Structure 1
Amino acid sequence: MKRVFVIAVVLAVLLCWLSPAAAQEAEGVGATDARQVELTLGSTKAVVNGDEVTLDVPPRVVDGTTLMPLRFVCDDVLGASVGWDEEEKKVVVNKEGRVVELWIGKRDALVDGKGYSMLQAPMVEKGRTLLPLRFLTENFGLKTVYHPSSKKIVITQTEPEISEPVADFEFTKDSIRAGEGLRVIDRSYDPDGGIIMDRLWEIERESGDKKQVSDLSDYFPVRSPGKYIIRLRVMDGQGIWSQWFQRVLDVRPNQPPVITSLSANPSRAAQGEEIEFFYDYIDEEFDSIQEERWVYRYREHSGQIRELVGKPRALFGARSYEVGLKLRDSFNNWSKEAVVTVDMTSDKKMSELEYRFSKPIPGDIILNPDALNFNNFPNADWEVEHGGPTLIMSNSPETVNSTGVLYEDTAEGPVRLFYHHVNNTGENKELALWVKNRGNRPVRLTLERAGTGGPSKDEMFMGQRVVSTYFESSENRVLEIAPGKTISLGNILGLRAMKPREMLSGMVDMECSGPLTFTVAMIEEGQTYLTPLPVLPSDGIHVRGTFENSDVLINIAQDGEQSEKMILGRGMDKDHFLQGYDALGRREVVNHGNYGVVYKTEFVSDTPTGILVNPRGSGFRGAISGLDGESYVVPDKGVLNFYGAAAVVGVSPEGKISRFVYTPAGGSDTPVIFAFIPKGEW
């Protein structure tokens, strides 16, 4: 790109060759550059930027070469500095770092130290120095046009050619892995010698999606493998942008970790002896391990393989265990399972009960290799008191095939809402929890405790999460509901839409200062309570209804000399199933399993007593509020899915009141046994 400027100035610089006269002419130089100069051969009249001036010496032609007066060019056109060497009769012209040296009467010249030969030597006439015009044009960027008819010479200055900057880079590696940072060598440059002031990167994916960033670290590393087009533009100090330069980057899939070794110490151990496990692995250096998944397996006498989740601290039973480990990296890549065998001897360093209860970890799995039948323990002596909130339960139809109202009823005072539903409509749906004030006075609704789970397709995991978060929570949120108004409790709890086959479950405790109508409904996404909905019928298997007194307060008088049991969720003896009423179906109902019922157990032990929970159904993942008041998942890992297995609740101290709280988890079977084992029987 070139721009036209007045460069007659440059001519002037080159014309500054003076002898004694040149020395005088060198003084006072430094005028402003002209944009255009018009001269006429043989005439002292000149026009500079439209203004007429008078020359001391007119331009003239000598042997076909046009000569121009130096003083005029330096002072009025170029604005150059001029030096004079009397001894050498040399004129030195300096313009913005460009130096031209000429000698009066000689055709030799130096331009920035490089020698040249001119067609006509500089000369002095009437005390004024004249210089060949073409030499100026060629060396100071002047554009000179001669008009023969008018003998006019028009001199204009052209701006030096300004080049665009050049964008260029290369990758330090031909390809990278997903998750790996990208490094490049930036070879961009400014041909004019300036510096690169700014960069703009553009990344285009195979899908065509593009994003522009000022630094590649704002985009990389990426998680998705594939081909990425990386483009770069750069800007120089003149504000000129380069053209795009691009290269294609191959991002390869992130690799799963590889376990290179797994060992146990000792690999042959006594029962109750603590075992340590060690492993090595390899993975990309930029990646990290996010999760260890341990399992251990053994073969029962029947030949059935039992598998439990977790890393065993100690093992029990004279048999061989296969301990497996998988690793998950930050890209959710799982390694292949590595396995080590641990052989257990018949020697007992410690019984399993003694080991579990001497270092109690709530939720810790009890393998029960001695096949203790906890159901054969005698029943504890316990008293039951019923009270607590009204339970509004929505669990039927559990699997919902269309939109509609699932359950609705009105209650006041302490209220507990329990819901558990699967979206089987084939489309995304929402589970609505609406609360309406049908009265003529405002009603204050206080949220006291809430546990929610899902959306999820893992029913047992979701049920466990509902119970554990219920025990952990302490809401204490107050909502004022005006007469005739409806609020969305689902929005307040942050319920999300369910995809097909996903489920939502929850348990919420509230205090209502007046009557409120609670509605549970399957709705379209974004639908409101204003849209009429049909009432869906119960599925005849699961329960919906309203039940009074959904808290069960239990006080146990322990024997202290022998192990005892308490069975919850069987519907017999003192723990009966709640009787209620289906307000939509207008019929009496029974809450089989007592889901939504909270059992609060209190006792005093005469001796340190270990407490365990032994599910009697086909599968169990639950939670408890432990002896210390904290929430614990039970078991702490995986599922209890056979009768002999149990999990630690805790150890009650001697002579002090102990308490724990339990509620059945949705998706898990009941009943469950709570066994109380005094220290003497560990």
Structure 2
Amino acid sequence: MNFKRLIITTIFIASQLAMVIPVSAEEVVKQDPVSAIEQRAAVTSNNAGANAADTQAQANNSVDPTQEDGLNKGESSDKDTSVTEENGKTEGTDKEGTVDDNQAEQPAGTEESQDGNAADGSDNGSTEPVTSPDNSVNATSTGGQLVLMMNSNKMYQNGKEYKAGYPMEVKEGVSYVSIRAIVERAGLQLSFDNKTKETIITRGTDELRFKLDTTNYRVNGVVTQMKGKSYSAKNNFMVPLTAITKALGIPYSVDNVGKRVILNLSTKPVASFSIGNKEVVAGETEVQYVTSSSSPSGLPIVNEEWTGRQDMFMEPGTYTVTYRVQDSNGQWSDPFSMTIKVAKPHTPPVANFSTDKDTYKMGELITYTDLSTDEVSIEERVWDNKALAFFTPGPKTISLKVVNPFGLSSTVEKTIMITNETLYERDDFNKLFVPVGEKFTFDGSSVPSWERVNYSISSDPVTLIRSNSPETVYSEGRVYKETASGSMRFMVHHVNSTGKNMKMYVIATNKNETTTRLTQTSLGFGGPSQYATAAGKVSVERYYKSLQSGDKYKDIWIAPGESKIILTELNAITMKQGDVISLFADMYSDQSLEFDVIMIDPNKDPFTAQPTLVNLETDVHNRGTYEDSTRYFQYNDLVGTTRTRLLIGDNSSDPYLIGHDPLKNNEYKLNAGNFGVLYKIKLNRVAPNTLITFNPRGGRYSGSIMVNGDIVQLSSLSGPNDNNVLFRTGDREQTVEFVFTAAPGSNLSVNLLLQPLPEVKQ
């Protein structure tokens, strides 16, 4: 009897143990997932009451999705089981939600393991599969789902349990996961950039770069801040979960009752396309289809299918074109559709013009009126034989060709008659009618005999720092160095002939014991250009514009012992072989500063390179520091009643500045041509009906000059026989003011010529 009772008692105890001890979550023995489900069901049936209570307790402890800090009330962060956004709010709900691309965090990151293994392929927390546990009813995933268990290192995919190297956890309201765990389970590619110390996740054409202990990462090169900082936990690189889901557009849902996050990992390929043409015109445009396709699993794309595609649409209208692709597993992408608007064929412009008369005397002004039209606009006008006047008799045919933005053109011709009667000789006609800014030729050999305007000269104490030698730079180094204070003007003009890309910098260093204020008041930059005259002309024009507008004004504060890059337009571009740059700038410093002008490899740090640079030798051009570089010319007597000239940069009426070169032991320097000098010329009494022109004496000249506050662009002048119209006075005496600085790349000296206008004839 006692023996039978003992057997019954043993069986009873064993049955009780079977009901209360679940299958271990750490079980590694292979087990059929269905059997596990059945076992769990059996346990549930035997403990229905207990499980019902547990379920209610679990529901009571679930996280409120609206809770700001992602924690249950009265619960410490190390027990938190919610998945939280970077802003501290709960991520998702029990419904499936798609990640908002506009909120995607796009920082610059790296997987830099404590021992160097996490990024190079070794696995401190590999996600080897183990048997589905007895609670797989709540945890297993199917199809393209990956289930992450909150506050756990367990993950489930396709009925199998995997383990991350470190649990998903919440720190300061941000949910973190191990990069390696997500990458392995989501079919992404993982690599490490030893140079930048960044961990790289790739999926198709998408690239995410993370760096350890930072709050930003990069997605396809775009940098964005994260609310949480990446970190390492037991050699596992941890990043905010949504940094990955949002950047890669991975939909997810949150099950707070089941304490899990469900990622939907679609394995479908993705297809898209764009149109490479700016406009598609019926019967004219061969459509450029630019396709893009990828597989989230990295599978090759083996097939594509189009619907509605035409290489050329023959009729105007709206067309829908659809594109999809197939991967090597046979899966088709969702169709991608685009609506293409096909415009009607363009028509050529209509060229047309008129003249104010059909018959003219020789030397009589011809007025042309352009009457051309186009449905959009006319991009180019090409005149042939369009003269302001003709000086030989007979029929004259003028033509005009007009071109629209689509390359379509038309041409029109008109013939006028020139009689034997003369109204003006050519020279008188040019003086009266050639427009301001345009040139005419004349006999310039007589100009040296014209009477000089004996203007008075004064100057402002502006220090000119001219960095113009070696003009052609053959190796990196220091092209100039100077210490200056007060008002100063920089002129920088150089050619890169090093055979490789280079950059120029101007570095200002404060060696005083107090902060220095450096004020930039005006600046003009030209280049890079392959032509010195072009870069010089543009720099002067932009310098004048900054004098007019003041838009280049800025203050720069330099602390004691600090160096700063100034005149940043110089280093904003990379100079290729043969490129020319040119710069003018006016500045003021309340204390002395040391200025370094250097040319170095663009990949070098200028502050690191600066102390090691050699001083480059000069060439035939000029560099130096010159005082009193703003000159005033003033003349109070009446001019214009006879032929007179005002000389600039001749070293006689206008003496050259004398200075020194600090890189050559303060060697004596003469500023030939006075390049970098700013001239302010005021003629207080200019007679009525006076013509004022610009006449180069030293050779070719290309630049501009300000006349009464307006910028006059000069034509390309070839020498002393060219005359560029600057100004004509009216029927009253008036004051005329000029602002002028010589354009680098051009030649000095130059003359301003003043002479009476011919009598106007009817």
Contact 2:503 2:571 in 1 (8 A): no
Gaps of 5+ in 1: 1-175, 185-200, 211-215, 222-228, 235-239, 297-310
Post-superposition Cα deviations, 1:182-239, rounded to whole Å, max 9, x if no partner, equal 679xxxxxxxxxxxxxxxx973299xxx9xxxxx9xxx99xxxxxxx964369xxxxx
Residue in structure 2 matching 1:579, options 658, 665, 675: 658
Percent of residue pairs bearing the same amino acid type: 26
- Residue 597 of structure 1 is matched in structure 2 by 677
Cα distance between partner residues in 2 of 1:558 and 1:633: 27
- Residue 180 of structure 1 is matched in structure 2 by 279
Cα distance between partner residues in 1 of 2:493 and 2:512: 28
Post-superposition Cα deviations, 1:83-128, rounded to whole Å, max 9, x if no partner, equal xxxxxxxxxxxxxxxxxxxxxxxxxxxxxxxxxxxxxxxxxxxxxx
* Structure-2 change in CA distance of 1:664 and 1:270 (3 Å): same
SS in 2 for 1:517: strand
Residue in structure 2 matching 1:203, options 283, 290, 303: 290
Residue in structure 1 matching 2:490, options 412, 417, 424: 417
Contact 1:352 1:366 in 2 (8 A): no
**After the TM superposition, which of the residue ranges 515-524 and 340-349 deviates more from structure 2?**
340-349
SS in 2 for 1:669: coil
SS in 2 for 1:515: strand
- Residue 80 of structure 1 is matched in structure 2 by none
Post-superposition Cα deviations, 1:491-527, rounded to whole Å, max 9, x if no partner, equal 2677411222111101001111111122221122253
Cα distance between partner residues in 1 of 2:340 and 2:518: 60
Cα distance between partner residues in 2 of 1:429 and 1:649: 39
Matching of residue 623 in structure 1 with residue 712 in structure 2: no
Matching of residue 565 in structure 1 with residue 612 in structure 2: no
**After the TM superposition, which of the residue ranges 525-534 and 604-613 deviates more from structure 2?**
525-534
* Structure-2 change in CA distance of 1:493 and 1:356 (3 Å): farther
Q: How does 1:124-139 map to 2 (within 5 A)?
A: none
Contact 1:405 1:534 in 2 (8 A): yes
Cα distance between partner residues in 2 of 1:182 and 1:446: 54
TM-score by length of 2: 0.50
* Structure-2 change in CA distance of 1:246 and 1:276 (3 Å): closer
- Residue 485 of structure 1 is matched in structure 2 by 562
SS in 1 for 2:543: helix
Cα distance between partner residues in 2 of 1:494 and 1:326: 42
Cα distance between partner residues in 1 of 2:346 and 2:477: 47
- Residue 672 of structure 1 is matched in structure 2 by 750
Matching of residue 290 in structure 1 with residue 379 in structure 2: yes
* Structure-2 change in CA distance of 1:656 and 1:411 (3 Å): same
Cα distance between partner residues in 1 of 2:624 and 2:411: 47
1:364 CA drift (Å): 2.5
Q: Which has the larger radius of gyration?
A: 1
SS in 1 for 2:609: coil
* Structure-2 change in CA distance of 1:401 and 1:292 (3 Å): farther
Contact 2:323 2:336 in 1 (8 A): yes
Matching of residue 634 in structure 1 with residue 714 in structure 2: yes
Judging by fraction of residues, say which structure has more helix.
Answer: 2
SS in 2 for 1:605: strand
Aligned AA (1:605)? R
Contact 2:687 2:734 in 1 (8 A): no
- Residue 510 of structure 1 is matched in structure 2 by 587
Residue in structure 2 matching 1:458, options 531, 539, 542: 531
Contact 1:375 1:673 in 2 (8 A): no
1:434 CA drift (Å): 1.8
SS in 2 for 1:497: coil
Contact 2:363 2:429 in 1 (8 A): no
1:478 CA drift (Å): 1.5
Aligned AA (1:665)? A
* Structure-2 change in CA distance of 1:652 and 1:247 (3 Å): closer
1:605 CA drift (Å): 2.6
* Structure-2 change in CA distance of 1:567 and 1:270 (3 Å): same
- Residue 634 of structure 2 is matched in structure 1 by 555
* Structure-2 change in CA distance of 1:667 and 1:205 (3 Å): farther
Contact 2:638 2:685 in 1 (8 A): yes
Cα distance between partner residues in 1 of 2:572 and 2:645: 38
Residue in structure 1 matching 2:725, options 648, 652, 673: 648
SS in 1 for 2:650: coil
Cα distance between partner residues in 2 of 1:248 and 1:606: 65
Gaps of 5+ in 2: 1-274, 294-300, 302-306, 313-319, 326-331
* Structure-2 change in CA distance of 1:559 and 1:585 (3 Å): same
Residue in structure 1 matching 2:479, options 406, 414, 423: 406
1:324 CA drift (Å): 7.7
Residue in structure 1 matching 2:695, options 610, 614, 618: 614
1:177 CA drift (Å): 11
Contact 2:517 2:555 in 1 (8 A): yes
Matching of residue 523 in structure 1 with residue 600 in structure 2: yes
* Structure-2 change in CA distance of 1:391 and 1:328 (3 Å): farther
Cα distance between partner residues in 2 of 1:468 and 1:564: 27
* Structure-2 change in CA distance of 1:618 and 1:336 (3 Å): farther
1:411 CA drift (Å): 0.9
Residue in structure 2 matching 1:232, options 323, 345, 348: 323
- Residue 534 of structure 1 is matched in structure 2 by 613
* Structure-2 change in CA distance of 1:202 and 1:402 (3 Å): same
Q: How many residues align?
A: 441
**RMSD (CA atoms):** 4.5
SS in 2 for 1:674: strand
Cα distance between partner residues in 2 of 1:445 and 1:387: 19
SS in 1 for 2:455: strand
Aligned AA (1:396)? S
Cα distance between partner residues in 2 of 1:399 and 1:336: 46
Contact 2:638 2:687 in 1 (8 A): no
- Residue 307 of structure 1 is matched in structure 2 by none
Cα distance between partner residues in 2 of 1:231 and 1:524: 49
Residue in structure 2 matching 1:660, options 712, 715, 738: 738
RCO comparison, higher one (Cα < 8 Å, 6+): 1
Post-superposition Cα deviations, 1:391-410, rounded to whole Å, max 9, x if no partner, equal 00011111111211111111
Cα distance between partner residues in 1 of 2:391 and 2:468: 42
Judging by fraction of residues, say which structure has more strand.
Answer: 1
Contact 1:607 1:679 in 2 (8 A): no
Q: How does 1:27-106 map to 2 (within 5 A)?
A: none
Contact 1:257 1:327 in 2 (8 A): no
Aligned AA (1:437)? N
Cα distance between partner residues in 1 of 2:724 and 2:555: 38
1:258 CA drift (Å): 9.2
Cα distance between partner residues in 2 of 1:374 and 1:339: 40
Aligned AA (1:410)? T
